[in-house]
Chain A
């Protein structure tokens, strides 16, 4: 089995005849037309394509899938798109993880729900090109007109004569034909693979415990390394006494660099034990912040006059002055850890003139660039092999652990597998930032929303608003601004950055406004969208029709407002180019609210893999619900009070509601689904709980609210 791109190319070159198309899924700078690769070029192994479609003479179809796979299932959905246009028999298609990294990999990144949208057309074109070449080869062999030949389920067929050859039998002949430049893509009504439920191509390897992940990678002679980082944000290293640690059997070295003390040894356990024996002194380098400080900072900055204005439409002051009713509420969300199940790790072997990196990252190109910069070794001397990612959620967009591994290897001059413990992961930063929002709404006497104000105050959050999202455009007088507090606590993108908590706050507040206006929450949103359509206020940066579409579908499927015995809450959100509406249903049991069911209506454009799409929606909802209900990081003296899963609480099986998924599937090009199902969940849950209990949930995590506590 080929393990990387070069091996794959060499094996393909020696495997006998066939057709190999090289193409680029990502690079917009390069030609969009696929190219036939000849044997000598393949054998050389250095070809400037990042993707390959190979049809061997013995009819084995192989597709190389290069995006980092972290559970969003693109290793299955990408090849499905190629196979669709190729008219291949899906069960005969092999998919190889392209554990590769070439300079041509423009978007070898997983993040922003952008993988499928980015490559949709290129993947289709590659498949369609190969299909057309196979048809031409068949027509030529049978000496019949091309128009009389068709491709079906892995065969080229001439129906008039009943002649039929499989793709492999025509592959060699096809490889000698010129590459067509104007291939016709299928009409979506003819799709046979796209839109069906296809199982994850890695299931067997996963369920039998094959070494797929970075942490599973092993190289003869490698050493294990763990790093003790400062115990608090705002501390720096002062002195190290490593005498006791060095005496632990198996320990090879203890070294310091930057604020790190690294223990290197022959096994993970020995290194873990030795690390506990380090005597390290730290000194204060910046403020040691606590959650109590953050709450005070939020309160102070909420009143500042020097906020950054993000969007301003009309005259907000006058609108509020003339309002018949003003509604005002503050919402707050805590810091969160990404906590992917596979902790951070990377293998690095740094030599004088070259570097080998192996492991899980969402941004391999960035990892290589940072390593190059750190070590002063040119990028073309650095290879990076991607493993499967045991979750990412945005954490592996930041390559700090890759660079640490490279630096440690360069210092101890040995191949190193750097491993973070779970405690390192939870205490080590790059968190979802904590944010407080203040919303204000002005209603006229008829309950129309005439003014809207939002201020977001975040800690290392960047802009915590999405000023052009709904309801912007639907309110004549609107002001959205933000303030950021700079903190030593590090933050970074977390699945559905910003919207993962902004959506909850906004959709819960909209529910408050609808209630104050005496309107049904669904009807209220539809009226706002109608207003945005007929008399827009300022630019509209979301698709009103698509948002309406999911609202109506969710309302219909959940039998909104007509269901006896349950309390329903509504939420809808646009993020990362897709739209998802959700209805949460709550019942009271023993005087406590129980989340029974969540309906989701999603518009992500064309659904590629129905099984994967459902998984992303269900997983996104569980993720959104779990973090809204249970998870938080609190700080004391610059350190998290939660260190591991005994105190950092994640949702578990007993806590999940039933979930029902629906897709609009309107045939527009795919717009992504790795993130968009998460943001609406917190709002739907908060609104349903309000309906059931009369209590507004304005602070996450919800489980700390009295309504969830046992009655004494």
Chain B
């Protein structure tokens, strides 16, 4: 099995894996970074969203062999102290219900705010439409993204 050297959350990791192993399972099973969630395995729900060179990416369908020298950021590395404007807004608005999808929601939103610091309601809807929240917390997710955009 090939050895992969990965740059994740500003740290270097290495692990042996089959080339087709999705980054999701590298993070979860190989490296113990379990904040990134498995939801569907086919890039339909967004629970596994991470940043690859700043771009929101579905890690469940992204093979480890394609990562190369790209910089990976997961929910664990979004901020040092858990105080990214989105993480603070998520608490302020009291978003989570079961909480399982929220890491993916926050990573998708973080990528949006990086590109568009003052998104309209429509921009937020479009960016967040790919992330499923089975508890139906969409109103507060939307509100929290909006709140974070006023503070970022």
Which A residues have a C-beta under 8 Å from some C-beta of B? Answer: 70-73, 197, 199-200, 202-204, 206-213, 215-216, 218, 224, 249, 267-270, 272-273, 339-343, 388-393, 421-423, 611, 615, 618-623, 626, 644-646, 650-654, 656, 659
What does DSSP make chain A's interface, helix, strand, loop or mixed? loop
Q: Can you report 6 residue pairs joining A to B where beta carbons are below 8 Å apart? A: A215-B37, A267-B21, A341-B134, A622-B136, A645-B45, A653-B142
A389:B132 contact, CB within 8 angstroms: no
* B33, B99, B106, most chain A CB atoms within 10 A: B99
In the complex, what's the smallest C-beta–C-beta distance from A245 to chain B, in angstroms?
15
Question: A269 touching B21 by the CB < 8 A rule?
Answer: yes
Flag if B41 contacts A71 (CB, 8 Å).
no
B137 contacts A619, C-beta separation under 8 Å: yes
User: Nearest residue in A to B102 (C-beta to C-beta)?
Assistant: A206
B32 and A218: CB pair below 8 A?
yes
Q: Which of B74, B94, B125, B137 contacts A209 (CB 8 A)?
A: B74
Of A209, A343, A650, the most chain B CB neighbours within 10 A belong to A209
B82 touches A207 (CB 8 A): yes
Distance between Cα atoms of A644 and B131 in the complex (Å): 14
- The residues in B between 51 and 98 inclusive whose CB is less than 8 angstroms from any CB of A are 74-76, 78, 82, 86-87, 90-91, 94-98
Q: Is B28 an interface residue (CB 8 A)?
A: yes
A1 to B38: give the CA distance in the assembly, Å: 27
Which residues of chain A are near B99, meaning CB under 8 Å?
71, 200, 202, 206, 212, 388, 390
Which residue of chain B has its CB nearest to the CB of A70? B98
New contact pairs (9) apart from A72-B97, A341-B98, CB-CB < 8 Å: A206-B102, A208-B87, A209-B35, A224-B29, A341-B39, A341-B47, A615-B94, A619-B135, A650-B132
Cα–Cα, bound, A72→B36 (Å)? 22
Residues of A within 8 A of B82 (CB): 204, 207-208
Interface bits B23-49 vs A (CB < 8 Å: 1, else 0):
001001110111111111110110100
Collect the chain A residues with CB atoms within 8 Å of residue B33's CB: 209
Inter-subunit contact A390/B91 (CB<8 Å): no
Partner of A656, one of B34, B130, B132, B139: B139
Known: A422-B39, A654-B129. A207 touches B97 (CB 8 A): no
Q: A423 contacts which chain B residues (CB < 8 A)?
A: 41
| Cβ of B128 to closest chain A Cβ, rounded Å | 5
Q: In the complex, which residues of chain B have a beta carbon less than 8 angstroms from the beta carbon of A646?
A: 42, 44
With both chains docked as a complex, state the minimum distance between the C-beta of B97 and any C-beta of chain A, in angstroms.
4
Most buried by A among B39, B75, B98, B142: B98
Shortest beta-carbon distance, A635 to chain B, in Å? 21
Q: A202-B96, A269-B18, A341-B47 are in contact. Are A208 and B39 (CB under 8 A)?
A: no
Q: Is B141 at the interface (CB under 8 A from chain A)?
A: yes
Given contacts A621-B136, A650-B132, A203 and B90 within 8 Å (CB-CB): yes
Interface bracket on B: 35 or more
> Which of B1, B36, B82, B135 has the most chain A CB atoms closer than 10 A to its own CB?
B135
Give the residue name and chain of the B residue nearest to A218 (CB).
B32
Q: Contact at A645–B94, with CB atoms within 8 Å?
A: no
Cα distance, A422 to B48, chains bound together (Å): 13
A615 near B18: Cβ-Cβ < 8 Å: no
Is A207 a contact partner of B106 (Cβ separation < 8 A)?
A: yes
- Distance, CA A70 to CA B86, complexed state (A): 23
What's the least CB distance linking B95 to chain A, in Å? 8
Do B18 and A623 have beta carbons less than 8 Å apart? no
CA–CA, A200 and B92, complex, Å: 10
The answer to whether A268 touches B36, judged by C-beta atoms less than 8 angstroms apart, is no
B118, CB-defined interface residue at 8 Å = no
Would you give the shortest CB distance from B100 to chain A, in whole angstroms?
3
Residues of A within 8 A of B30 (CB): 267
Are A269 and B135 in contact (CB-based, < 8 A)? no
A343 touches which of B38, B106, B132 (Cβ 8 Å)? B38
Of all chain B residues, the one with the shortest Cβ separation from A72 is B97
The answer to whether A619 touches B106, judged by C-beta atoms less than 8 angstroms apart, is no
Rank and list the top 10 A-B pairs by shortest CB-CB distance, nearest first. A209-B35, A622-B136, A71-B98, A390-B100, A209-B75, A71-B97, A206-B99, A645-B44, A216-B34, A208-B82
Pick from B1, B29, B87, B134: contact of A393, CB below 8 A: B134
Digitize B105-142: 1 where CB-to-A-CB distance is under 8 Å, 0 elsewhere.
01000000000000000001110111111111111111
- With a cutoff of 8 Å between Cβ atoms, the chain B residues found around residue A270 in the complex are 18
In the bound complex, how far is the Cα of B75 from the Cα of A652, in angstroms?
22
Q: A209-B74, A391-B135 are in contact. Are A422 and B90 (CB under 8 A)?
A: no
Give chain B residues whose Cβ lies under 8 Å from the Cβ of A71. 96-99, 135
Q: Distance (Å) between the CB of A41 and the closest chain B CB?
A: 35
A373 to chain B, nearest CB (A): 29
Which B residues touch A208, using CB under 8 A? 35, 75-76, 78, 82, 87
Q: Which residues of A contact B74 (CB under 8 A)?
A: 209
Interface core residue of B34, B78, B126, B140 (most chain A CB under 10 Å): B34
From the candidates B78, B129, B137, name the one contacting A615 in the complex (CB within 8 A). Answer: B137
Determine if A341 and B37 form an interchain contact, defined as CB atoms under 8 angstroms apart. Answer: yes
B136–A209 touching, CB < 8 Å: no
Residues from chain A with a CB closer than 8 A to the CB of B96 are 71, 200, 202-203, 206-207
Q: Are B97 and A619 in contact (CB under 8 A)?
A: yes
* Complex Cα spacing A659 to B140, Å: 11
Q: Measured between alpha carbons, how far is A48 from B141 in the docked complex, in Å?
A: 41
**Nearest CB on A from B32, distance (A):** 7
Residue of B nearest to A390 (CB): B100
Closest to B36 in A: A209
Shortest B72–chain A CB gap in Å is 13
Beta-carbon nearest neighbor of A199 in chain B: B94
Contact A209 B45, CB 8 Å, known A71-B135, A619-B137: no
Chain B residues with Cβ under 8 A from A199's Cβ? Answer: 91, 94
Taking CB atoms, residues of chain B closer than 8 Å to A611 are: 94
A391 smallest CB distance to B (angstroms): 4
**Residues in A neighbouring B95, C-beta threshold 8 A:** 203
